[in-house]
Amino acid sequence: MKCVLLAAALLCAFSTAAPAACGPETLGVSRVLPVGTVGGGEVGLKTYPQTLALQPGEVVLTFDDGPSPGHTEKVLDALAAQCVKATFFMIGSNAAGAPALAARVAREGHTIGYHSMTHPTMRGMAFERARADIENGFQAVDKAVFGKAGERPRQPFFRFPGFADTPQLDAWLASLDVVIFGADQWASDWEPESPDTELKLILARLEKSKGGIVLLHDIQPRTVAMLPQFLQELKKRSFRIVQIVPGPGPLETQPAPPGWTSETNRIIDKQRTRQH
């Protein structure tokens, strides 16, 4: 109950301060969405047949793989200039290597999530080894961001490297009341594309899907370069930013459209075929 009241107080403080700090010319945050985590669950249409209960035109910005000195600072500056909040899924080893930068992400009001300790592909790994890597990531991120770590993660959001989950790991995370995040759209910023190409690609995808959970990487120079214009374009095209935060109760989702299939599984299966 104390955690719920604290979360409500923080949300109230945020909603009260945001209008005074952010003018109408900025993109801003249209609303803060508490995501229930009791019993865990999975969201993100690239991998799962359900996603967050967003309205058409709403966008959740997420960044993977940081913190990355020289890059994450510029991402934070670009977000601050537009009064936007995002979710950062941090790699434990990167957070341990740049604790001040990891702590800055949280200090500036962004949501923290976990992305394992060393970013291995966990589908095909032994369960105990994969769980240890996730747990080590929890510990490293919590120490960097919050100054200490406990037996359980401080934040209930996790994203698998490459979205490569397993039923056993999913069940274990659910037992910890951790929600697993995929994505609804990605910018393909791991490809050797120019910032302009990346910008056009993700905008076209968002126009088609009418929003959703977006995957970007704060370690990628091309994403850092295109981000200010991307945020401006979201404003021009009337997209609205939603910040996700941990909330009470179970996860609420909306189902995938008819004919849905997992793009993640197709990609992973194709990679396995090439390897053999």
pLDDT tens column, 104-161: 999 999 999 999 999 999 999 999 999 999 999 999 999 999 999 999 999 999 999 9
Residue range 200-215: mean pLDDT, rounded? 98
> Which of 7-21, 187-201, 252-266 shows the lowest mean pLDDT across its residues?
7-21
Residue 9 has pLDDT above 50, yes or no: no
Residue 39 has pLDDT above 90, yes or no: yes
Residue range 85-107: mean pLDDT, rounded? 98
* Residue of 165, 189, 217, 218 marked catalytic: 217
Residue range 247-273: mean pLDDT, rounded? 90
Residue range 59-73: mean pLDDT, rounded? 98
Residue range 208-213: mean pLDDT, rounded? 97
Confidence of residue 8 (pLDDT cuts 50, 70, 90): very low
C-alpha 60 chain-centroid distance: 8
Residue range 252-265: mean pLDDT, rounded? 94
What pLDDT score was predicted for residue 1? Answer: 38
Who wins on pLDDT, 268 or 106?
A: 106
Residue 83 has pLDDT above 60, yes or no: yes
Residue 11 has pLDDT above 90, yes or no: no
What pLDDT score was predicted for residue 275? Answer: 61
Residue 211 has pLDDT above 80, yes or no: yes
What pLDDT score was predicted for residue 21? Answer: 66
What pLDDT score was predicted for residue 268? Answer: 86
Residue 270 has pLDDT above 90, yes or no: no
Q: Within a 13 Å sphere around the CA of 137, how many CA atoms are in the beta-carbon half?
A: 29
Catalytic-residue membership of 189: no
* Residue of 64, 65, 133, 142 marked catalytic: 64
Residue 22 has pLDDT above 90, yes or no: no
Who wins on pLDDT, 275 or 205?
A: 205
Catalytic-residue membership of 64: yes
Confidence of residue 274 (pLDDT cuts 50, 70, 90): low
Q: Which residues contact 38 (CB under 8 A, 6 or more apart)?
A: 177, 248, 249, 250, 251
